[in-house]
């Protein structure tokens, strides 16, 4: 699956799609494929303040629990309620329909520290090599 | 995102350590199939095969049709008589809590090796290969411990203990169509093998292979034991996959093995049973024969039977949103911590979140409301009947691909 070039990525495998001080956050295709079948999502309500690097929710597969870390600080404007009934969307469309939260960024410049798609793809390719070594 | 794999699949699997992990003869084949591998008790094992659908698809294949598991990491200990007739039987009776004298040749039984305290060294399947010839199939993570335990505690008996753990590639073919798959590969009369019986027959052209109607999924199925060299192992695996193609056979990993056995309430060592839990607490009295004069652990169990047990294994179903996981704490309605989850997971068959947990007997009655601490929240659950899933024994096989 392609990694959108206009997104930014974290080492913990979240993506951020930012525009005009607002941002959608999700987990990457690599993350969902490592997790396997997603069966449960827990997200914060609108109004919740996120702090960079702090856990703000969980995504669970049958066998594992994953914390989701905020790639940037900001306030939750909307959580993706659809995921509660259809958590498997995270497996089928991780970079699109399965966005987790929309936030109002506290400091859009924070995103400059994150990886672009080329850097992220190199990062996960290196991880893949490590795993098969 | 950071994954915390539940202890069932032994967290702490790291690429750096994979070089030290033990591998079954099918390791390269699993990797070729694109399996996601994990460290399971020191073994590099497939947890699921994403390329063929992954855990949920594997679970469903076993419940509805057939799946195959590489369980070669399991250990095997053979106990044969030395010179005195009855030496091996006496040794097995001393080691094992079930009554091996009740086994016919060709029959197997679930049992456990116990410490003097009546707690678990391991659970085992005891096969009676001959009058005075037994095979214990033991867990992977406890192999070394079990073998030393068996050697140490059979010194006074006239028997020969052999560690055959590396001699076999063990495949578990499980599900309602397992019999149809294996029928294509063997000359043995499978219909004559009842549940927990076994025979020897030709499998994939290999003579005299052990074929047992056993498993760890709550379904009908077989476990076959092939020579462990890579060429033969891959040949047998591929033959099983080819024979199963028409039934939609799925290669299955430890993930599905765990959800399947949990639904069927089969104990997992290190979870429901351990060196700290005794037979009564684990609810395994059916397999413990106190009428046997002597076996290791018997005296302590007799004493424990007279006292009130402090905890008992209960089945839980989550009533609110939240998945109970291994080691999560259990609370009563008053907010008192009363127990712990030993295994918890979504149940793919039931579409509910289920768990096994230890709780005080006073809170073990059906429909008792308990709370499981899921991260920061206490999520409501209730005690339900177990096993969570029980197979309906079918008189005639279902049509292929009926789902």
Tens-place pLDDT, residues B209-222 = 999 999 999 999 99
Residue B15 has pLDDT above 60, yes or no: no
Q: Maximum Cα–Cα distance for chain B, whole Å?
A: 63
Q: Residue B6: what pLDDT?
A: 45
Contact B24, B230 (CB under 8 A): no
Residue B5 has pLDDT above 50, yes or no: no
Alpha helix locations (H) across B133-278?
A: 143-152, 178-183, 230-244, 254-263
pLDDT tens figures, B303-317: 999 888 899 999 999
Confidence of residue B14 (pLDDT cuts 50, 70, 90): very low
pLDDT tens figures, B238-255: 999 999 999 999 999 999
Q: Residue A131: what pLDDT?
A: 59
Nearest-neighbour CA in chain A from B333: distance (Å) = 24
Segment (H or E) for B176: none
Segment (H or E) for B107: none
Domain ranges of chain A: 8-107+114-128
* Distance of alpha carbon B331 from the chain centroid: 29
Confidence of residue B3 (pLDDT cuts 50, 70, 90): low
Of A12, A33, A68, the CB nearest to B50: A33
Segment (H or E) for B364: none
Q: Which chain B residues are closer than 8 Å to A132 by Cβ?
A: 31
pLDDT tens figures, B276-308: 999 999 999 999 999 998 999 999 999 999 888
Nearest-neighbour CA in chain B from A53: distance (Å) = 10
Segment (H or E) for B359: strand B352-359
Domain A8-107+114-128 has CATH 3.20.20.140: no
Q: Residue B142: what pLDDT?
A: 95
Residue B385 has pLDDT above 60, yes or no: yes
Q: Maximum Cα–Cα distance for chain A, whole Å?
A: 45
Nearest-neighbour CA in chain A from B275: distance (Å) = 25
Q: Quick one: which of B4, B1, B376 has its CA closest to A68?
A: B1
Please tell me the distance from the alpha carbon of residue B202 to that of residue B209, in angstroms, as a whole number: 6
- What whole-number percentage of chain B has pLDDT above 70? 93
Is B153 strand, coil or helix? Answer: coil
Q: Residue B1: what pLDDT?
A: 59
The DSSP bridge pattern shows strands B250-252 and B67-70 to be parallel
Exposed/middle/buried for residue B164 (C-beta within 10 Å: 0-12, 13-18, 19+)? middle
At a CB cut-off of 8 Å and minimum separation 6, what does A46 contact? A76, A77, A78, A79
Contact B344, B356 (CB under 8 A): yes
Low-confidence ranges of chain A (pLDDT < 50): 133
Residues of B near A (Cβ–Cβ under 8 Å) read 1-6, 8-9, 15-16, 18-19, 31, 36, 47-48, 50, 54-56, 255, 258-259, 321-323, 325, 345-346, 348, 375
Q: Residue A128: what pLDDT?
A: 73
Number of A to B CB contacts under 8 A, please give it: 76
* Residues 16 through 55 of chain A touching chain B, CB cutoff 8 Å: 27-28, 31, 33-37, 39-40, 42
CB pair distance less than 8 Å for B323 and A33: no
Q: Which chain B residues are closer than 8 Å to A81 by Cβ?
A: none
Q: Residue B73: what pLDDT?
A: 98
Nearest-neighbour CA in chain B from A120: distance (Å) = 14
Structural domains of chain B, with CATH: 16-73+167-263 (3.30.1360.120), 75-163 (3.30.70.1400), 308-384 (2.40.30.110)
Q: Quick one: which of B292, B302, B358, B298 has its CA closest to B328?
A: B358
Confidence of residue B401 (pLDDT cuts 50, 70, 90): very low
């Amino acid at each position: 699956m392609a990694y959108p070039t206009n997104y930014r990525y974290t080492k913990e495998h979240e993506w951020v799609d930012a525009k005009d001080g607002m941002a959608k956050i999700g987990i990457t295709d690599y993350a969902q494929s490592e997790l396997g079948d997603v069966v449960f999502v827990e997200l914060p309500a609108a109004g919740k303040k996120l702090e960079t690097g702090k856990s703000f929710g969980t995504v669970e597969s049958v066998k594992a629990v994953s914390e989701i870390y905020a790639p940037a600080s900001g306030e939750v404007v909307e959580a993706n309620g659809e995921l509660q009934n259809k958590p498997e969307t995270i497996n089928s469309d991780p970079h699109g329909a399965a966005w987790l939260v929309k936030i109002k960024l506290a400091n859009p410049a924070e995103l400059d520290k994150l990886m672009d798609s080329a850097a992220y793809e190199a990062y996960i390719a290196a991880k893949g090599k490590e795993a098969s070594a | 995102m950071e994954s915390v794999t539940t202890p069932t699949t032994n967290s702490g699997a790291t690429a750096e350590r994979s070089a030290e992990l033990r591998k079954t003869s099918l390791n390269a084949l699993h990797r070729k199939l694109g399996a996601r591998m994990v460290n399971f008790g020191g073994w590099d094992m497939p947890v699921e095969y994403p390329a063929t659908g992954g855990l949920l698809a594997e679970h469903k294949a076993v419940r509805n049709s057939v799946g195959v598991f590489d369980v070669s990491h399991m250990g095997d200990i053979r106990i044969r008589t030395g010179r005195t007739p009855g030496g091996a039987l006496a040794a097995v009776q001393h080691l094992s809590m079930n009554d091996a004298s009740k086994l016919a040749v060709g029959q197997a039984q679930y049992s456990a090796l116990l410490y003097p305290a009546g707690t678990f060294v391991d659970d085992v399947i005891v096969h009676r290969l001959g009058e005075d010839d037994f095979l214990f199939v033991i867990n992977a993570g406890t192999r070394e411990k079990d073998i030393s335990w068996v050697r140490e505690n059979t010194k006074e008996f006239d028997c020969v203990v052999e560690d055959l753990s590396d001699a076999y590639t063990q495949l578990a073919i499980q599900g309602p169509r397992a019999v149809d798959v294996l029928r294509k590969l063997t000359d043995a009369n499978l219909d004559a093998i009842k549940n927990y019986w076994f025979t020897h027959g030709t499998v994939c052209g290999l003579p005299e292979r052990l074929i047992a109607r056993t498993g760890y999924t709550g379904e009908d199925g077989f476990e076959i034991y092939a020579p462990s060299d890579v060429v033969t192992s891959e040949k047998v695996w591929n033959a099983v996959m080819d024979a199963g193609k028409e039934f939609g056979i799925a290669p299955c990993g430890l993930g599905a093995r765990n959800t399947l056995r949990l639904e069927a309430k089969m104990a997992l060592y290190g979870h429901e049973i351990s060196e700290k839990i005794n037979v009564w607490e684990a609810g395994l009295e059916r397999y413990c024969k106190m009428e046997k004069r002597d076996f290791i652990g018997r005296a302590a169990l007799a004493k424990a039977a007279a006292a009130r047990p402090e905890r008992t294994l209960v089945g839980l179903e989550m009533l609110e949103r939240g998945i109970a996981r291994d080691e999560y704490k259990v609370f009563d309605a008053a907010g008192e911590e009363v127990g712990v989850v030993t295994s918890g997971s979504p149940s793919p068959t039931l579409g509910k979140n289920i768990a096994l947990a230890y709780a005080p007997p006073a809170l073990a009655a059906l429909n008792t409301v308990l709370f499981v601490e899921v991260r920061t929240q206490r999520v409501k659950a209730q005690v339900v009947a177990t096993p969570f899933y029980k197979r309906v024994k079918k008189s005639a096989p279902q049509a292929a691909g009926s789902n």
